[in-house]
Amino acid sequence: MRIGEVAEQAGVSVRALRYYEEQHLLVADRAAGGRRRYPESAVERVRLIQRLYAAGLASATVREVLPCVDSGETEASPALLERLVDERALIDQRITDLLSVRDRLDEVIGVARNPDLGCAHDDTRPGGRPGTIWKRSHEGR
């Protein structure tokens, strides 16, 4: 595939793909003339990279982690393993933060929608999953 196709299908910019290559997150061989050629699998890989970024991993960490996630295994050093465990802890923290913030937003939104129910509980919220996903707006970052 050409870079433009990959970009479109993965929903990122061409510049982003060149940046990923610069950062050694994504490789491409070159056709005669110097243009990048990607395998089909590149699309999925880019989506994975996006998810990792969206999860707040630093690019250096992504660089370390990607090979493992690719192969589905770690032969790596215990040092890297520790890094992964630490990253997992950070991600847990971020999830907790996000859930907390989402709950606050839900409160505010709920009150704004039903100003009369000032003190009433929103009982459409069973203990586990707070709130309903009312709307899915799609926006990159």
Partner DNA sequence: CTAGAACCTGACGTTGACGTGAGGTGCAAA
Partner DNA sequence: TTTGCACCTCACGTCAACGTCAGGTTCTAG
Binding footprint of DNA on the chain (CB under 7 A): 2-5, 12-16, 18-19, 23, 31-36, 50, 53, 58-60
CA 113 to chain centre: 31
Partner from DNA, a copy of itself, none contacting 120, C-beta within 5 to 8 A by type: none
Question: Which lies closer to DNA via its Cβ, residue 32 or residue 119?
Answer: 32
Residue for token pair 């990923």: 20
Which one, 126 or 140, has the nearer CB to DNA?
140
Give the angle 39-56-138 at the CA atoms, nearest 5°: 70
Least distance to a copy of itself from the beta carbon of 20, Å? 17
Closest distance between a copy of itself and the C-beta of residue 16, in Å?
17
Residue 127 binds: one of a copy of itself, DNA, none (C-beta under 5 to 8 A by kind)? a copy of itself
Find where tokens 């290559």 sit: 21
134 binds, among DNA, a copy of itself, none (CB under 5 to 8 A by kind): a copy of itself
- Rounded Cα distance between 13 and 15, Å, is 5
Distances (CA, A) of 92 to 61, 88, 96, 133: 16, 6, 6, 21
Residues that bind a copy of itself (CB under 8 A): 51-52, 54-57, 65, 68-69, 72-74, 76, 81-82, 84-102, 104-109, 111-113, 115, 118, 125, 127, 130-131, 133-137, 139, 141
Determine the Cα–Cα distance for residues 57 and 21; give it in Å rounded to an integer. 17
Provide DSSP, 32-62.
TTS-EE--THHHHHHHHHHHHHHTT--HHHH
- Minimum CB distance to DNA, residue 116 (Å): 35
